[in-house]
Amino acid sequence: MSDIKLPVTASPIQLAGVCREWRQIILDYPLLWSHLDLIVHRSTLDRGYMDPTIWAERSRGSKISIHLREYYLFEYIERDDDDSDTSTEYDDEEFAEAMEPLVRFLRPLMSQVESMTLVLYWPKDYVILALLEYVRRTGRLTNYLR
């Protein structure tokens, strides 16, 4: 599974590294920081996410739209010696523990979140419940959670 390639994404952080002029434009334009695409994959959950304060500071109070999707591959399924399918996905407890970095990343941004789209292939309710609990306590998801 080490050769799995996640989809290429371009964030403002990556674009700011192109050249000095691009960096200045990226840093001076808060709307470029108002949309956040997150790919949930076992490898990203294991290594964690960047510091969310970068997005909070650079967006300068602009509302943020988050698009969270799972990157699913059939490589999750491996064959054992008798050729029966065994899943290498997390069980519920491992999944909840692995989702903590994502929840910690999103928590400081929730006051600015205008919308959140979740595209998930698993019925795990841990992420949704953790985010909804935060919204319930703070009342800080201004439009909708899809």
pLDDT of 75 reads: 44
- HEC sequence for the chain: CCCCCCCCCCCHHHHCCCCHHHHHHHHHCHHHHCEEEEEECHHHHHHCCCCCHHHHHHCCCCCEEEEEEECCCHHHEEECCCCCEEECCCCHHHHHHHHHHHHHHHHHHHHHEEEEEEECCCCCCHHHHHHHHHHHHHCCCCCEEC
Beta strand 144-145 with 85-87: parallel, antiparallel or unpaired?
unpaired
Q: pLDDT tens, 79-135?
A: 344 444 444 455 556 666 666 777 788 888 888 888 888 777 665 566 666 666 666
Contact call for residues 116 and 68 (beta carbons, < 8 A): yes
Residue with more model confidence, 127 or 34: 34
pTM for this entry? 0.62
Query: Model confidence at 20, in pLDDT bands (50, 70, 90)?
Result: very high
Model confidence at 5, in pLDDT bands (50, 70, 90)? very low
Which pLDDT belongs to residue 4? 42
